[in-house]
Structure 1
Amino acid sequence: MDKAQCACGSLEVRSSQPPQLTAICHCLACQKRTGAPFSANAFYSVDCVTISGPSTAYVRTADSGRKVRMHFCQICGSTVYWRAEASPSVIGIAVGAFADPSFPAPTLSVFEETKHGWVQLDETVVHFQGLPTGQ
């Protein structure tokens, strides 16, 4: 079972299944959310996830016009997970919240149109300037 949690351990997310997808996002919203040049994200079916501990949600409007609800710890401020209106059956969890160096590597990289030029990814990652076609 995968376990992600905030820095202080008050907010925890557990999954009974492996992620459906692990991806890197270079969009400006993710850069601002993480304070880093990109975010590393694991996506799970909501049916296999349990959440414990209090969170506060920040709701932002994505470029698509749909809402993204990002949940962060009320004590330490770590963003642990998010839900997007565009994908109601999926929950995104910050890979860093797992604190596991052996966590599965990302398979794709999105919004590379705003990727920092010094970020280098190997050829095993599929690259997209925006979202993959059909998203």
Structure 2
Amino acid sequence: MSKSEHPMVDVTAACACGAVAMSVRGRIMAMLMCSCLDCQRATGTGHSSVALVPGSSLTITGPTSSFQRPADSGAVFTRHFCPTCGTPLHGQSSRAPDLRMIPIGFFAGQNDWFDPNQLIFARSRQAWDLVADHLPRYQTYREQER
């Protein structure tokens, strides 16, 4: 696949135990990296690499579990995962209920289209987490253009 600002994708993968399959078909809305403390805990590393997709472009088969937590924005953030192996599937914010955050690593071997254009929550980035220097960094969320 060629890289573009908003690529079209058609990818399917399964969680670590194979109980849950997830497909994304359609246009990617955004690609980013996040160094918030919650993403660090969720990934076990210094940041998450995610793409935002419309909920309508996501298909999940198999059993899933979820949990909610308050986000720094005041929204409620819900993380969905495989209840058997714990593989992260997607996240959803009450700030943007029609979008899903998908972890790029879920589609290992099929994610050459991923080209992040920003790092959010740079204020909590770990010095040992070597994020590309050319990425714009935002201390919290990216400022909305007016």
- What's the TM-score once normalised by structure 1's chain length? 0.91
Q: Is the 8 A contact 1:5 1:80 kept in 2?
A: no
* Structure 2 unpaired stretches of 5+: 1-9
Pairs aligned (count): 134
Q: Is the 8 A contact 2:68 2:76 kept in 1?
A: yes
Tell me, in whole angstroms, the C-alpha distance in 1 between the residues paired with 2:26 and 2:133. 27
Name the residue aligned to 1:30: 39
Tell me, in whole angstroms, the C-alpha distance in 1 between the residues paired with 2:68 and 2:29. 24
- What's the TM-score once normalised by structure 2's chain length? 0.84
* Structure 1 unpaired stretches of 5+: none
Tell me, in whole angstroms, the C-alpha distance in 1 between the residues paired with 2:13 and 2:95. 23
Tell me, in whole angstroms, the C-alpha distance in 1 between the residues paired with 2:38 and 2:113. 24
Tell me, in whole angstroms, the C-alpha distance in 1 between the residues paired with 2:131 and 2:59. 34
1:12 positional shift: 2.0
1:122 to 92, 111, 133: 133
Asked if 1:11 is matched to 2:20, the reply is yes
1:42-70 CA distance string (max 9 Å, x none): 11011222111111101111012211110
Name the residue aligned to 1:132: 142
Q: CA RMSD in A?
A: 1.6
Tell me, in whole angstroms, the C-alpha distance in 2 between the residues paired with 1:105 and 1:122. 14
Letter in 1 for 2:115: A
1:107 positional shift: 1.2
CA 1:92/1:4 → structure 2, altered by over 3 Å: closer, same or farther? farther
Q: Is the 8 A contact 1:4 1:80 kept in 2?
A: no
